[in-house]
Amino acid sequence: MTPKTETVDRIREKALWMRRTAFAMVHRAQLGHPGGDFSAIDILATLYFGVMRHDATRPDWAERDRFIMSKGHATGALYTALCAAGYFPEGWLQTYMQPRSKLNGHPNRNYLPGIETNTGPLGHGFPVATGIAIAGQLTGADYRTFVLTGDGEQQEGSNWEAAMTAGFRKLENLTLIIDRNRLQQGQSTEETSGMEPLDERYRAFGFEVAVVDGHDLGALLDVLSAAPKGRGKPLCVIANTVKGKGVSFMENQAKWHHGVPDDAQFAQAMKELV
């Protein structure tokens, strides 16, 4: 077995645990955004267990890579990744969305270790990540900055201000990942505000662009772990994903953007997520 195969197997195991656990959290709370959690989980599992330099025992370690969850509503994906990586005890997941819980509907760095910045209002994470990358560039630090946005989030103008700045400053330490599941709250992204050709738009802003299957763990590992030194520009990874990936009745269904399962649906999902 090759080192890459071992890494991919570890990521796959973590991603399955994250899906099962996140869905249980949403079922228990009867709140959440499971469709977007499931489209993003393979990306987060790859980052935390195959790509990023981080240490859960030292969440403020100066040399850590930075990750910003710009699509802040997908907390099921983020919290399970952080928990699996050792940032907080698994028992905390039982409190998801409960009053006074540290695990509320949007990530808050004042409550949980491993969260770089509060997110929730869409379009904020990418500009913050751009600023973090600029700081690294100015100080000569070698950390990388990763930011995950939704594709519907690309409709926010602040993203394009950030893209213009990142391209102009040639932030090779910055990786933007777009969760391209093509659905947002209510309908498809293209019915709401068409954004194609998304790859050409980011190239025009000075990005290197890679288009990958967002559920192909080997492909994700390759593109996200590639050394940025010498690239001379930021990287945009357009990850083609499936909303609700892994559960038959959720896949490609806009209603599961913020849908919650009843007991029968939960039982069916647990049978499928094996």
Going by C-alpha positions, the residue among 183, 237, 242 that lies closest to residue 41 is 242
Average pLDDT, integer, range 68-95: 98
pLDDT exceeds 90 at position 185: no
The pLDDT value recorded for residue 184 is 86
pLDDT band at 192; cut points 50, 70, 90? confident
What pLDDT, in 10s, does the model give residues 16-73?
999 999 999 999 999 999 999 999 999 999 999 999 999 999 999 999 999 999 999 9
Q: Which residues, in sequence order, are bridge partners of residue 66?
A: 145
Give me the CATH topology for the region 3-272.
Rossmann fold (3.40.50)
Structural domain spans, the chain: 3-272
Determine the pLDDT at residue 194: 86
The 10s digit of each residue's pLDDT in 152-164 is: 999 999 999 999 9
- Residue 130 CA to residue 167 CA, distance in Å, equals 10
CA of 65: how far to CAs of 6, 14, 60, 155, 193, in Å? 22, 20, 10, 27, 33
For the question of whether the overall pTM of this predicted structure is more than 0.95, the answer is yes
Give pLDDT tens digits for 123-177.
999 999 999 999 999 999 999 999 999 999 999 999 999 999 999 999 999 999 9
